[in-house]
Amino acid sequence: MTTTEANAQHSDVTFDDVIITVVMARVTDFFGFFVYAIASALVFPAVFFPHLDPMMGTLWSFALFSLAFLARPIASLLGRRLQLVIGRAGKVTVALMILGVSTVAIGLLPGYEAWGIGAPIALAALRFMQGLGLGGAWDGITLQLKAAAPKGQSGLYSMVPQIGGPVGFCVAAALFYVLTGFLSEEEFLTYGWRFAFFAVMAVNVVSLFARLRLLSTNFAGDDEVVLRSAPLGELMSQEWRTIVLSALLPLASYALFHMVTVFPLSYSLLFTESNLSSILLLQLAGGTLAIVTVILSGVLADKFGRPVVLWISSALILLLCLSIGTLERAPAIYIILGFVVLGLAYGQSSAIVPDRFKPQYRYSGAAMATNLSWILGAAFAPLCGLVLAWTFGLWAAALYLLSGVIVTAVALVLLQRQ
């Protein structure tokens, strides 16, 4: 089928459908992402590492959490080959099936008391499979959306997929708030937490059909070049500088992502007397504000430019580092401020560099850079933050955020000198 025939066949897809589907796809991705992330702090230490003390159990849980990020570059390489055989829609379907099956399997997995050491080993294997599914599900829709943006509105259009982050977190946090509020601790740890993973599968099925409808629609015009998978050797030799720069630029926002979501939950449970429900409520309020500031980032980017937005958000992260001590007695200050800054930082962090790729390398280069960014900035954030706080105190956990700000600032300087 030619591109013209495909367009005629799917002419019923409006641009509103495109926006809704992009948001739905990203909300689905992040909902599943944060269901696992929150469970890593609240559930897995007790279910899969009960033979260890709470601190060591949480550290092992966070170590397994990072496996999905390490799997994503592997999935991208495998996905490149698979896409040549069954096409982009087929690749995304297979990837989401792997993601869905592994997610449900985690919800069905017996704990340490039933399987012994086999339980955390199985959890690690399934977490790695989740990473393969997430990495393989890269669909390039956000590149099309950015290409379709009217002149002067690129910032607004680029922030649309980013809304999925805070919305997905809010849905996941709300689900755990209900489960922990209506079930006893024993009921929650025995079976309640499993419903969250089953919910992820249900949402994934709906998202898959929406994605498939959209993937067959050329809504951005001639996307044959933009969505081409470039040969790996050629990509690396021609665009390695842009890939590195693209991977380093979002580190401040990606590090912040977990330092205001997962880290406060684990720290509060291990080191403070704070009520879990109150922390989740604060995070829900913060996540709602983050949705607003993601949208604000698009408005500011169109008016002042994306580099200005990233400089402002990086400066605000520095202020947030000074407030991290409030997690001890007044967690609302750090959590609310953190989510507000997260929206500004995350809203434009991944959209500033893709245009610097040559069109024929944009699809593959953006996928590779995104996967590297998540590994460098987010994969080990909960683990590093908790180790630093446990060893030296809360002030040391802020060093992880500070390192992300420094890397982002250096990348911004290099970008502006090009």
Question: Is the predicted pLDDT of residue 14 greater than 70, yes or no?
Answer: no
154-183 residue pLDDT tens? 778 888 888 999 999 999 999 999 999 999
248-264 residue pLDDT tens? 988 999 999 999 999 99
Q: What was the pLDDT predicted at 24? A: 81
Angstrom distance (rounded) from CA 167 to CA 175: 12
CATH, residue 263: 1.20.1250.20
pLDDT exceeding 90 applies to what percent of the chain? 54
Angstrom distance (rounded) from CA 353 to CA 350: 7
Q: What is the pTM of this model?
A: 0.91
Q: Residue 2: which region, alpha, beta or left (left: phi > 0; alpha: psi -120 to 50)?
A: beta
Residue type, 257: F
Angstrom distance (rounded) from CA 203 to CA 184: 26
Our measurement of the distance from residue 56's CA atom to the centroid of its chain's CA atoms, rounded to an integer in Å, reads 25
Angstrom distance (rounded) from CA 282 to CA 290: 12
185-218 residue pLDDT tens? 999 999 999 999 999 888 888 778 777 776 666 5
- Tell me how far CA of residue 164 lies from CA of 208, 217, 379, in angstroms: 15, 21, 19
Q: How many helices (H) and strands (E) does the chain have?
A: 21, 0
> Phi, psi at residue 52, to the nearest 5°?
-105, 160
Q: In this predicted structure, which of 118-127, 141-150, 206-215 has the lowest mean pLDDT? A: 141-150
- Residues 310-324, mean pLDDT to the nearest whole number: 94
CB 142 within 8 A of CB 29: no
29-84 residue pLDDT tens? 889 889 999 999 999 999 999 999 999 999 999 999 999 999 998 988 888 788 88
How many separate domains does the chain show?
Answer: 1
Helix (H, G, I), strand (E, B) or coil at 207: helix
Angle at 347 between CA 362 and CA 13, to 5 degrees: 65
Q: Which domain holds residue 210?
A: 3-417
Question: Is the predicted pLDDT of residue 367 greater than 90, yes or no?
Answer: no
